[in-house]
Chains A and B, each alone.
Chain A
Amino acid sequence: MSDRRGFLGVAAVALGGVMLAPGIRLIEVAQAATPAGATTGANPAVRWGMLIDTTKCEAGCTDCVTACNTENGLDPRPTPTSSQWIRKIEIKEVKTGRQASVPVMCQHCAEPPCVDVCPTGASFKRADGIVLVDRHSCIGCRYCMMACPYKARSFVHEPLTDQKPDVPRGKGCVESCTLCVHRIDKGDKTTACAEACAKAGHNAILFGDLNDPASEISRRVREIGSTQLRADLRLDPGVRYQGL
């Protein structure tokens, strides 16, 4: 009996040591790697958003999707397991038969469910309203994908090659539309999808600062009727739709 007890005692101590030691070591490593000085953060006075005019969006046109794929180095021929940050949805109202073509991407909610459910805080909202995934702390649990009402997030199912230097991505992490944050942070005033839509002559996607009363997007949402997708959920998306 005392042999068994002794064995259990030693086993418990050994197991505890084995489980704790690497953790303590990794915490040290992680703390040593934290940069000392904070960088300038996003501007909290800004709320980036989009207004999508479905009356101008042409059915069958996928220029915005192609532009996004090219800009961010995504699969040009998407499969169910490859990432789609923006997609075109053809919709038809059941009662009236009215049709529309709608680009849908991350809606950059003010109250994002993906941020609420993320266990590590990898899913986060910047001060300027852009919802992003920190690829260094995403563990790939996919809870955010379960929580997003817009199916805006994709999981990287395969090893990636030839990535864009501005858009770091990685197998096993979740990702979604970044509102072309790499452009915004360089001072650009538009996203790849909005640019492509304008180039095609449709001008259905308008990007801008919803908080600036003088911006084109603020003026338009003030003057015309626009809706938010699944407005009933009160997530306050930064993307609005006109003509639905």
Chain B
Amino acid sequence: MTNTDSRNFWLLAACAGLVTLVGLGAAHYMELHGHVVTGMDNQVVWGLPHVFAIFLIVAASGVLNVASVGSVFGQPVYKVRAPLSGLLSVAMLAGGLMVLMLDLGRPERVIVAATHYNFTSVFAWNVFLYSGMVAIVAIYLWTMFERRMNAWSKPAGVAALVWRFLLTTGTGSIFGFLVARQAYQSALLAPLFIVLSFGWGLAVFLWVQAAMMAWNKMTLDADVQRRLNRLLGIFVAASLYLVAVYHMTNLYFARQDAFAAFILRDGGVFPLLFWGGYVLLGSVLPMLLLFNPKFAAPRTTLAAGALVILGAFAFLFVFIIGGQAYPLEIFPGWEAASAFADGAVNAYVPRLPEWLLGIGGLGAALLLTTIGVRVLDVLPRDGKLK
């Protein structure tokens, strides 16, 4: 390890640490003054922090896909990437959970959530799914690093694969099991989130891998690059298909007409973010970049990855905020008006503390990744293949 390496490590760790600290500061400010300092109110109760947290948690599950393809399906190209994939999974899960917990009204009561369980609650299931995920991935990493445990790497990988499906089913079901709101209440949300996780996780993976390789003055094998590109393209296409099916069901059911019109056409920022952000920039454009051999270059892969991540945020903003902005239909067939915004589309503009908390979660994930990369041997070396 050279001096420059060491200096760069501390610089990156300090930057990520600073971003995390600012996020923690924002959370402290929110706790001190209450959620009145955010853009949330009694209509839009889950705001921007949930967008960041759910992105991180879903991507944390998806990024482990790389390891699964390696350990479970025995693909050597992916096997050398499994340690990095596991590390990223734990780091992003931790970052997402940090945001989720600090956005609670009473974050200091998180111990209550860890000691009192209501087993009909999808959130309570998720408490086990998240902590179980960290434990299983930690064991999985251990079986990969500890030579004596290598034989157990495959069973651990299978366990992680199964657990990851359960975890993202749990995340999708947070919304899927909500009977009240037009935007949710669909069993499709669990598989949809699983497929979304594949693309988001791989996009994050490709960026981290590129940064590490550039740092170590390595270049990615062209064949490996092509395979990863194609895989990301397939994941993006599959996500788009499931999102289309979700909206098709809404368009077909008469009782969902008004909601479908709102989210896809009339809802202002939401249709704009959906079509422009998720569909065009976040799905169609990356697919063009990834599938067209003319654009095959490391830089295009990164551009596609960045667009997929951008699209993920657009999708989640529309899904989470748009779903709450649309008024509850308490009196179907009637127009409603009240001093409590009944019958009205709810305006929500995220405020600075929410942005800082969300970005703080990304910072925490980056900090953990940076430290992990330093202390563990996770650099993918394709030379090992031959």
Contact = CB atoms under 8 A, between A and B. Distances in A.
Contact of B115 (A27, A87, A95, A155): A27
Contacts of B343: 89
Interface string A130-163: 0000000111111101111111011111110000
Interface residues of B, number: 54
Contacts of A102: 331
A33 B114 CA distance: 17
Interface in A50-105: 78, 80-84, 87-95, 102, 104
Contacts of A93: 333-335
Contacts of A118: 118, 121, 123
A139 B112 contact: yes
Given A4-B375, A172-B105, A173-B106, A119 B334 contact: no
Give the residue among A4, A8, A84, A146 with the most B Cβ atoms within 10 A. A146
Interface in A213-244: 229-230, 233, 244
B46 to A, nearest CB: 6
Given A91-B336, A113-B179, A151-B340, A81 B41 contact: yes
A88 B36 contact: no
Contacts of B127: 119
A163 B132 CA distance: 41
A233 B329 CA distance: 12
A185 to B, nearest CB: 24
B338 A90 contact: yes
Give the residue among A7, A84, A87, A90 with the most B Cβ atoms within 10 A. A90
A80 B324 CA distance: 14
A78 B41 CA distance: 12
Contact of B338 (A88, A122, A159): A88
Given A81-B41, A172-B104, A117 B334 contact: no
Contact of B330 (A80, A92, A146, A151): A151
A173 B123 CA distance: 17
B338 A87 contact: yes
A155 to B, nearest CB: 6
Contact of A139 (B104, B174, B324, B337): B104
B41 A91 contact: no
Nearest to B123: A119
B375 A8 contact: yes
Contacts of A230: 330, 332
B33 A158 contact: yes
A170 B122 CA distance: 25
B339 interface: yes
Contacts of A116: 120-121
Nearest to A149: B180
Given A91-B336, A122-B116, A157-B40, 9 more contacts: A84-B340, A89-B331, A104-B330, A120-B117, A146-B46, A146-B180, A149-B179, A159-B33, A230-B332
Interface of B: 31, 33-36, 40-43, 45-46, 104-107, 109-118, 120-124, 127, 174, 177-181, 324, 328, 330-343, 375
